[in-house]
Homo-oligomer: A and B are copies of this chain.
């Protein structure tokens, strides 16, 4: 069977209507609302064909049709016309990013908030991969009789800190000295590039503080590096309560318990290696079967031509693909640009 233009128009009408009403769409509705110039009976014939081809299905005999996963797939691949953002919205996004950007974490936060607000779905934002970022400043500050705080500033503007025990008798002067050496040796180095020779150099210069150094270097390498890496922010989770397909509490609970696990988030954000730009996963294309009735739209963001991470929007399969794609595209561009500015010439 061939997919002629009229079939396309009918499929498009069904999908658009179902996206906005969440109700099965009948032949009469289509003929009335989307003037195709043919009678309901004709449309019924075409719909029977579309169903046979797998693009739509019937919840039960006397109901209208709803799009199948295949139908949505055909829609996003061939039929969808992207929506234009209003001046207002685009302005809001731009302002959201221009407004006193100070730190990577803050930028990601705002991205999530805007994404979920603009789409009314759940937003996911992955922290950027910054393995190539380098140490900018390291400082040890004495906090108590045997306690110090280790502060590490990365060139990305990220600041990590961590309490650590120190010997009883150590003074702030000692710590300044240690900080000085660490700074001299590590400043400008990337996380991945600290090698044994370098550490030996440090030991050599600070032989008598060996035990502090051991701990400090361990913390710098293991803990501090790993803390911020590959976290995923969730925003607007409650928006799913507004979707009619989630008026059943049990379904909400299933989805929420999935979203509570970081692994799941990582899995569903995952995109095929070669995918540039935007990826759409519909229903059963998602890695978890509990998400059959959800779709996920993701986009990568980058600085230069290095992809740093992914942002995504999670909604029901019946989500407004056209709008979400436009929004997420705009957001990922803005995010990339802002990060570029923030990390200017530093990554």
A contact residues vs B (CB 8 Å cutoff): 102-103, 136-137, 139, 141, 143-144, 149, 151, 153, 155, 157, 159, 161-163, 238, 241-242, 246-247, 249, 252-253, 256, 260, 344-346
Contacts and interface: CB of A to CB of B under 8 A. Distances in A.
Contacts of A102: 162-163
Contact of A249 (B136, B151, B155, B241): B241
13 contacts: A136-B141, A137-B141, A139-B139, A139-B151, A141-B153, A143-B153, A143-B157, A144-B345, A149-B157, A157-B163, A159-B159, A238-B260, A247-B249
Pairs A-B, 9 closest by C-beta atoms: A102-B163, A159-B161, A137-B141, A238-B256, A141-B153, A247-B249, A241-B253, A241-B249, A144-B344
Contacts of A344: 144
Contacts of A256: 238, 241
A319 B103 CA distance: 42
A153 B157 contact: no
A236 to B, nearest CB: 10
Contacts of A159: 149, 151, 159, 161
A178 B201 CA distance: 30
Nearest to A345: B144
Contact of A153 (B136, B149, B253): B149
B151 A153 contact: yes
Contacts of A137: 139, 141
Q: How many identical subunits does the complex contain?
A: 2
Q: Pick the most buried of A136, A149, A346: most chain B CB atoms within 10 A of its CB.
A: A149
A242 B141 CA distance: 46
A194 to B, nearest CB: 20
B143 A155 contact: yes
A262 to B, nearest CB: 14
A103 B157 contact: no
Contacts of A238: 253, 256, 260
A56 to B, nearest CB: 28
Nearest to A242: B253
B241 A346 contact: no
A246 B253 CA distance: 12
A267 to B, nearest CB: 20
A8 B155 CA distance: 68
Given A143-B346, A149-B153, 12 more contacts: A102-B162, A103-B161, A103-B162, A136-B143, A139-B139, A141-B153, A149-B157, A149-B159, A151-B151, A159-B161, A238-B253, A249-B249
Contacts of A346: 143-144
A284 B151 CA distance: 48
Nearest to A253: B241
Contacts of A241: 249, 252-253, 256
A153 B162 CA distance: 11
Contacts of A139: 137, 139, 151
A151 to B, nearest CB: 6
Nearest to A238: B256
Contacts of A163: 102-103, 157
A144 B347 CA distance: 12
Contacts of A144: 344-346
A97 to B, nearest CB: 15
